[in-house]
Amino acid sequence: MLDFLPLYVLGGIALALYFLILRPRRGGKDAPPLVLNSPVLPGPLGMPLEFCKSPVKMIRRCYDLYGGIFTIPLGPKRMTLLVGPDYQETFFKANDDALSQNEVYHFMKSVFGPGIIYDASRKNRQSQFQSITSGMRVTSLKSFVSKIERETRTYLKEHFVGDEGEIDLFKALSELTILTSSRCLHGDDVREKLFKEVSELYHDLDHGLTPLTVFWPNAPTENHRRRDSARKEMVKLFSKVIAERRANPNKTDGLDLLQSFMNIKYKDGTSITDEQITGLLIALLFAGQHTSCITSTWTSLFIANDPSIMQRIFQEQDNILKRNDDLSYDHLSNMELMHNCMREALRLCPPLILLIRLAMVDLPVKVDGKTCVIPKGDMVGIAPSVGMRLGEVFKDPDRFDPDRFGEGREEHKIPYAYMGFGGGMHSCMGQNFAFVQVKTILSILFREFEIERIAPKMPEINYEAMVVGPKGDCRVRYKKRKN
């Protein structure tokens, strides 16, 4: 029941704690301005309510009034927001001793299990990240292209039936993302024999992460109970796969992430457990599933929204390979327009709208000769949806214009401006995989079909979701392209 509480009700609960905000502020005269007035509700309770209702609009409003650095009260905490490249630089350059992720993302332990990423010691976390990096090396990415291609062709044959028809693109791309992720990250054995079980368990894990989980990870709710049971089942299931692989090491190509995690040896000599291997696989599904399927959906909807761009995409595909040619990693690397369309969709509609850390020290932010000090203990956030739509940074910022990244303009190269995949030491470790996955799927889709949106307008952005995607009608009419 608690799972269904809307964000604004949770905001209401947070209000009870609000009076803690009136405690004295560290940082003295150098602290960023503390914003206490909201048009949503006059008085001290307005800001948390406004944040829960519409964080992106609120951050934009405060930016227009106060500039690139300001603090908002959030329940018993304060969050200092940094907007614009000069301010975002501090966020991306800080190390974990200054701005820490662990404290703010620690609730993910309830989904990933103990000892994983935000719950791991620093050295173990390093080993876990090294193994993700090694699992995403170019040799592996090259092997993923044909796996994703095979899944996509089979899926299109089964679901894009006949020469024309209608399909819910968001739903289709969501299904295709988990099929292709499972093939690449878990391996052929899991994809072929256990996909149904894994995807059902993932579904329960996914629904066990609600706004309430952030504040109260183990609240006694039905969704949390199902999440905990799904995680236990997932560990059992992967323990069997791990045992089989250890007994028959030559049965897989050794290039999937499961294999990479099985090879982890921690620096203190301890071995990784089956539960931790499973936890890392769950973490990757969480990092990549919604983000990638949302990005492929927006990218294709934006392409379909502009006939001239869709024609250029067809042209690019036809210049690089024939309709039925097997795709390779090199083909994908040559798809510059497709790449820029994906980047641009991410600029306009980033699925992660707030990246957050905790200030572990008083942190100076120097811009234009002025220094502000973020007080130790503040949460610190950047908002990709606001920062990547600043007119002073990106020309005509609300327009879908993939050419802004092309030769001569290259707006993504303005330091600390583009953050579709975050930035700095914690930038996305799966971004090369995401490009390979989305571009492979869309290359096959656009070589085979023209698509046209059915609804009169582009879908809105669903800012209420934990990972922000399209809201409303994502159906398209597809039509087989003529040879």
Interacting residues toward ligand HEM by CB under 6 A: 132, 284, 287-288, 291-292, 295, 346, 351-352, 355, 420-422, 426, 428-430, 433-434
Chain residue whose CB lies nearest ligand HEM: 430
Cα within 13 Å of Cα(66), Cβ side:
23
User: Is the CB of 311 or the CB of 427 nearer to ligand HEM?
Assistant: 427
Between residues 82 and 352, which has the closer beta carbon with respect to ligand HEM? 352
Calpha distance 31→28 (Å, rounded): 6
Nearest to 181 by CA among 289, 103, 27: 289
CB of 15 to ligand HEM, least distance (A): 27
Neighbours of 463 (CB within 10 A): 16
CB 136, min distance to ligand HEM, A: 7
Q: Is 351 exposed, middle or buried (0-12, 13-18, 19+ CB in 10 A)?
A: buried
Q: Please, which residue, 49 or 356, has the CB nearer to ligand HEM?
A: 356
* Cα 331 to Cα 430: distance, rounded to the nearest angstrom: 20
Minimum CB separation from ligand HEM for residue 456, in Å?
27
Q: How far is the CB of 128 from ligand HEM (least distance, A)?
A: 9
The angle formed by the CA atoms of residues 386, 392 and 397, to the nearest 5 degrees, is: 55
The residue among 46 and 55 lying less far from ligand HEM, judged by its C-beta, is 55
Closest to ligand HEM by CB, 40 vs 81, is: 81
CB neighbourhood size of 249 (10 A): 10
Minimum CB separation from ligand HEM for residue 126, in Å? 10
Between β-strands 370-374 and 99-100, what pairing exists: parallel, antiparallel or unpaired? unpaired
Identify which of residues 8 and 118 has a Cβ nearer to ligand HEM in the complex: 118
For residues 198 and 186, is the Cβ–Cβ distance under 8 A? yes
Residue 121 to residue 65: CA distance in whole angstroms = 41
Strand partners, 80: 71, 380
Nearer to ligand HEM, 210 or 291 (CB): 291
Residue type, 9: V
Minimum distance, C-beta of residue 292 to ligand HEM, in the bound complex (Å): 4
Take residue 131 and report the two structure tokens written for it.
């193994």
For residues 286 and 394, which CB has a smaller minimum distance to ligand HEM in the complex? 286
In the complex, the smallest distance separating the C-beta of residue 347 from ligand HEM, rounded to whole angstroms, is 11
Q: Which helix H or strand E contains 164, and what residues bound it?
A: strand 164-168
Nearest to 424 by CA among 29, 109, 96: 96
Cβ of 57: how many Cβ atoms within 10 Å? Answer: 15
CB of 90 to ligand HEM, least distance (A): 14
Give whichever of 422 and 459 is closer to ligand HEM, judged by the CB atom. 422
Q: Tell me the CA distances in angstroms from 101 to 61, 125, 134, 253, 438, one per residue in order.
A: 26, 12, 22, 34, 28
- Angle between helix 169-181 and helix 274-305 axes, rounded to 10 deg: 140
The answer to whether residues 337 and 402 touch, using CB atoms and an 8 Å cutoff, is: yes
Residue 426 CA to residue 382 CA, distance in Å, equals 13
In single-letter form, the type of residue at position 332 comes to L
CB of 45 to ligand HEM, least distance (A): 29
Minimum distance, C-beta of residue 394 to ligand HEM, in the bound complex (Å): 17
Residue among 380 and 476 whose Cβ is closer to ligand HEM: 380
